[in-house]
Structure 1
Amino acid sequence: MTPVAQTINGWTRKVPAWPLYILAVIPPALLFYKGVVGTLGIDPVKEMEHQIGLYGLQVLIATMCVTPLRRFTGINLIKYRRALGLITFFYITCHLSVWLFLDVQIWSQIWADIVKRPYITIGMGAFILMIPLAVTSNNWSIRKLRKNWTKLHKLIYPAVLLGGIHFLLLRKGIQLEPLIYLTIIVVLLVLRLPPIAQRRTARA
C-alpha cells in the first residue's frame, strides 16, 4: 500500500458516510429551484430530467469504482459504497419522476413510450434491476440473504451497462460524452472478469 493510500484510508476512518445523504439532496433541489426561477433554459423540464439522470449515472459509476480502487491502489472506500448505491437509486428515481410527472404527464402515453422508444425501454430495465439492490441495502438483508446477497447485488453490472447504453441512445447519433461514459463502464466491468481479478488478488 502506498503512502497516499494509507493517508486517504486514515481520513476515511474518521469521516462517516451519513453526510453523503445530506449532500446528495442539494443537486436535485438546486435544479428544481433553477427550474422554478427560469434559469434552466428554454426547456427546464428536459434539462432537469437529463441532468438528474446524469448525476445518477455518475454516482453509479463511482460506486463501481470502489472495488477496483481498493484492489489496484489499496484505497479503501467500502464504507461509502452503500451510501453511493442508495444515492444512485435516489437520483434515478428523481429522474424517472420528472419524466413521469413533469414531462409526459399523460399516463396513457407512458406505456407506449416505454415500448416504442428503445432508450426508454433500456432505461426502465436498468431502473427495475436497481430496485432489489436498493431494497436490500441494509444489514438485515445481508444477514438474511447471506451468500445470496452478494449474488443479488451483481445486478449492478447489467444495470450500469444498461444505464450507459440508455445515455448513448438518448443523445441520438454518435457523441463523445456518452461514448466516454460507456467506455469507462466497460473498463470497470472488464476489471471484474475472474482472470484479471484473481491475478491482481494473487499479486497483492
Structure 2
Amino acid sequence: MAQSKLWTKAPTWVVYSLGFLPAAYLVYGVVTNSLGPDPIAVLENNLGEHALQFLLLGLAITPLMRFAKINLVKYRRAIGLIAFFYVVLHLLVYTLLDRQLDLNAIIGDIWKRPYITIGMSAFLLLVPLAITSNNFSIRKLGAATWNKLHKIVYAAVILGALHYMLLTKTWQLEPIIYFTLAVLLVASRKFYPKRKKQTRQNPQTSKTQTA
C-alpha cells in the first residue's frame, strides 16, 4: 500500500508537464531543423504515436491498480486529455501542413484510404469524451451516464491502434504490439471484475474515473 500511495502524491500539473514534453521536443526539432529530410512526416507520425501511447496508458490504469497496486486513478483524466491534445495536433499537422487545407484531397483520403477513415472515426469518438472530461459534465450527466459515455474510449483506442497498424502498410512489429495491447486492455475490462457498486454510484469517486 505504501508503494501505491507514492504514485498519488504528485500534483496533476506534473502529469500535464511531463505529458507535453514530447510535443515540446518535436517543436524544438522543427525550429532547429533536426527532424530529417521529411519533417512533416516525422512530426505527423510522432504526434500520432504519442497520442496512441497516452490512450493506452489511460486504459492501463485499472489493470495497474488491480495487479501491480499502482494507483494512477487521479491522473486518468489528465492522461486522457493529453492523449486528445496529441490527437488534435496529429490531425492539424495532417490537414494544415500535409494537405494544406485542401478539402478535396482530405475528403478523397477519407473516402479512399481505409486507415485515414479509421483514424478520423477514432478522432470523432474522442471528441465527446474530451468535451465532457470535467466536473460540470459529470454533475449534469450523472456519474452512471458519464461512465457509460466514456466507454466509447474502448472503440476509439482499438480504432487508433488499427489506424497506426494500417498506416505502415507492412506488418511491422511495433504497430502490432500497440494493437495487441489495445485489444488486451479492452478485453481485460470484460473478463475481470468491475469496480464495486458503491464506487460506481458515488459521483465524487467517479470524477477521476473513465470507463
TM-score norm. by structure 1 comes to 0.90
The alpha-carbon deviation at position 74 of structure 1 amounts to 2.5
Residue 187 of structure 2 aligns to which amino acid in structure 1?
V
Does 2:40 correspond to 1:29? Answer: no
1:182 to 2:179 alignment: yes
Q: Does 1:38 align with 2:33?
A: yes
Partners of 1:20 and 1:13 lie apart in 2 by 11
Match of 1:192 among 189, 196, 199: 189
Q: Cα RMSD over matched residues?
A: 1.6
Q: Residue 10 of structure 1 aligns to which amino acid in structure 2?
A: K
Aligned mates of 1:143, 1:88 — CA distance in 2? 23
Structure 2 partner of 1:77: 72
What does 1:1-204 correspond to in 2, within 5 Å? 6-105=1-100, 106-146=102-142, 147-193=144-190, 196-198=191-193
CA-CA distance at 1:132 after TM superposition = 0.5
- Asked if 2 retains the 8 angstrom alpha-carbon contact of 1:71 and 1:200, the reply is no
- Other-structure match for 2:204: none
- Cα deviation, residue 139, structure 1: 0.7
| Aligned-residue identity in percent | 49
Once the two structures are TM-superposed, the CA of residue 101 in structure 1 deviates from its matched residue by: 0.7
Q: Which runs of 5+ in 1 are unaligned?
A: 1-5
1:89 CA displacement: 0.2
Q: State the alpha-carbon separation in 2 of the partners of residues 34 and 176 from structure 1.
A: 26
Between 1 and 2, higher relative CO (CA 8 Å, sep ≥ 6) is seen in: 2
Distance in 1, matches of 2:38 and 2:112, equals: 23
Per-residue CA deviation, residues 51-106 of structure 1 (Å, 9 max, x unaligned), is 01100000100000001111223321100000000000000000000111111112
How far apart are the structure 1 equivalents of 2:87 and 2:195?
Answer: 33
Q: Give CA deviations for 1:136-179 in whole Å, capped at 9, x if unaligned.
A: 00111111111110100000000000001000000002111101
Q: Displacement, 1:200?
A: 10
* 8 Å contact kept, 1:72–1:200: no
| Contact 1:31-1:48 at 8 Å conserved across structures | yes
Unmatched runs of 5 consecutive residues or more in structure 2: 197-211
The letter of the residue matching 1:126 is A
Q: Give the residue type in structure 1 aligned to 2:174.
A: E
Question: 1:187: how far off?
Answer: 0.9
CA distance in 1, matches of 2:128, 2:195: 30
Aligned to 1:3: none
In structure 1, C-alpha distance between the alignment counterparts of 2:22 and 2:125, rounded to whole Å: 24
Q: 1:10 to 1:112 in 2, by over 3 A?
A: same
Give the alignment's TM-score, normalised by structure 2: 0.87
The structure where helix makes up a greater share of residues is 1
